């Protein structure tokens, strides 16, 4: 396996990441385009998936989302889901220019927030021949309503309005922690499992920051990638769903899968939202994605 740094322009931002190539074999390689979820950076286990794909004869193009990690883009820490889905399309365009890669055999892998992005991508970009969506965001409004107590919603909406007033006046955007150790503290992704995941990756992902703009949370409440799922077919779709996922709720993912057209496949994993990244969860999720790409791209 070979890995080299890459960079490409995407509507004014330089997106940076890695290109993985198999160690042996001839000819342009099929490629899987990959990015991480809400605020996460490529060092938070995406290298493990890319290595698994490369070992099976696939190339992998991994990039940090704009405003995060090694990538450029301002403001830092801002997550615009529509722009991130668009950046996947820029990554596909870039991949198709590289001589080592087969421009007609491009797949897309996404997880959590980017699991929603690849549903949008699969429905809108027919250059993508195969999709793997892992523990995906399906409905921002529904997920947000389950994570926020109803009596706290008016105060949250008031914060969004106040932030708009401040930005309009030229003052800095408000920010919010991504995760919090205290279950009662305000944050974008509440829950002890989120805190444990992100804190546990700090030693090997030092560029990750526990902060996003408040506007990122507002945009998340408006995002409905599940609305695209019925338009993905006939592009092959694999969904990897965690049985006890409270962050991107399991029932929403299963309902979306039922609306998807063939060809499709579903893998159910034990555990919560962060289970697929490590241990037996990674062995299962990585193997399922690898086999799906091998089947449809090789």
Predicted confidence at residue 102, as pLDDT, reads 98
H helices of the chain, in order, are 46-55, 81-95, 113-124, 140-147, 153-168, 192-200, 214-220, 250-259, 279-297
* Position 29 in a domain: yes
**Hey, what are 11's tokens?**
């509507």
Residue 204 makes CB contacts below 8 A (sequence gap 6+) with 43
Tell me the three state secondary structure of residue 273. Answer: coil
C-beta of residue 246 within 8 angstroms of C-beta of residue 275 = no
* Position 216 in a domain: no
pLDDT tens figures, 167-195: 999 999 999 999 999 988 999 999 999 99
Tell me the three state secondary structure of residue 176. Answer: strand
Spell out, as residue ranges, where the chain has pLDDT lower than 50: none
Predicted confidence at residue 99, as pLDDT, reads 96
Predicted confidence at residue 27, as pLDDT, reads 79
C-beta of residue 34 within 8 angstroms of C-beta of residue 76 = no
Predicted confidence at residue 248, as pLDDT, reads 97
* Position 95 in a domain: yes
C-beta of residue 172 within 8 angstroms of C-beta of residue 166 = yes
Q: How many domains does the chain have?
A: 1
* Position 52 in a domain: yes
C-beta of residue 93 within 8 angstroms of C-beta of residue 80 = no
- CATH number of the structural domain spanning residue 83: 3.40.50.1820
Domain residues for 9?
2-146+223-297
Predicted confidence at residue 150, as pLDDT, reads 85
* Position 159 in a domain: no
pTM score above 0.95: yes
**Hey, what are 10's tokens?**
């995407």
Predicted confidence at residue 183, as pLDDT, reads 84
Closest CA to 108 of 98, 249, 125, 97: 125
Residue with tokens 């929403």: 252
* Position 195 in a domain: no
Q: How far apart are CA 158 and CA 186, in angstroms?
A: 14
Closest CA to 295 of 239, 236, 240: 236
Q: How far apart are CA 36 and CA 65, in angstroms?
A: 7
* Position 111 in a domain: yes
C-beta of residue 207 within 8 angstroms of C-beta of residue 70 = yes
Q: How far apart are CA 243 and CA 72, in angstroms?
A: 36
Predicted confidence at residue 296, as pLDDT, reads 98
Predicted confidence at residue 149, as pLDDT, reads 82
Closest CA to 278 of 196, 211, 171: 196
**Hey, what are 246's tokens?**
């409270």
Backbone phi, psi, residue 105, to 5°: -130, 80
* Position 132 in a domain: yes
Predicted confidence at residue 116, as pLDDT, reads 98
């Amino acid at each position: 396996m070979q890995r080299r740094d890459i960079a490409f322009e995407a509507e004014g931002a330089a997106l940076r990441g890695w290109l993985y190539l198999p160690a042996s074999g001839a000819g342009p390689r099929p490629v899987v385009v990959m990015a991480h979820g809400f605020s996460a950076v490529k060092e938070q286990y995406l290298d493990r998936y890319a290595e698994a794909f490369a070992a099976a004869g696939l190339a992998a193009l991994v990039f940090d989302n704009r405003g995060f990690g090694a990538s450029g883009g301002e403001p830092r820490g801002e997550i615009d889901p529509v722009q991130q889905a668009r950046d996947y399309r820029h990554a596909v365009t870039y991949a198709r220019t590289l001589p080592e890669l087969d421009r007609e055999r491009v797949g897309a892998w996404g997880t959590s927030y980017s699991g929603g992005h690849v549903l949008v991508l699969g429905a809108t970009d027919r250059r993508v021949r195969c999709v793997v969506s892992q523990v995906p965001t399906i409905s921002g409004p529904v997920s947000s309503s389950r994570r926020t107590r109803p009596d706290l919603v008016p105060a949250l909406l008031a914060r969004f309005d106040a932030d708009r007033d401040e930005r309009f006046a030229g003052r800095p955007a408000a920010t919010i922690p991504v995760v919090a150790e205290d279950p009662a503290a305000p944050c974008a992704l509440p829950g002890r499992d989120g805190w444990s995941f992100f804190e546990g990756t700090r030693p090997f992902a030092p560029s990750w920051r526990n902060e996003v703009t408040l506007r990122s949370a507002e945009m998340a409440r408006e995002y409905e990638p599940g609305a695209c799922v019925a338009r993905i077919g006939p592009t092959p779709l694999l969904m990897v769903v965690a049985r006890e996922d409270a962050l991107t709720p399991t029932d929403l993912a299963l309902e979306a899968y039922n609306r998807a057209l063939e060809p499709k496949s579903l893998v159910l994993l034990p555990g919560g939202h962060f289970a697929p990244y490590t241990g037996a969860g990674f062995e299962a999720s990585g193997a399922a994605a690898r086999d799906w790409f091998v089947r449809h791209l090789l």
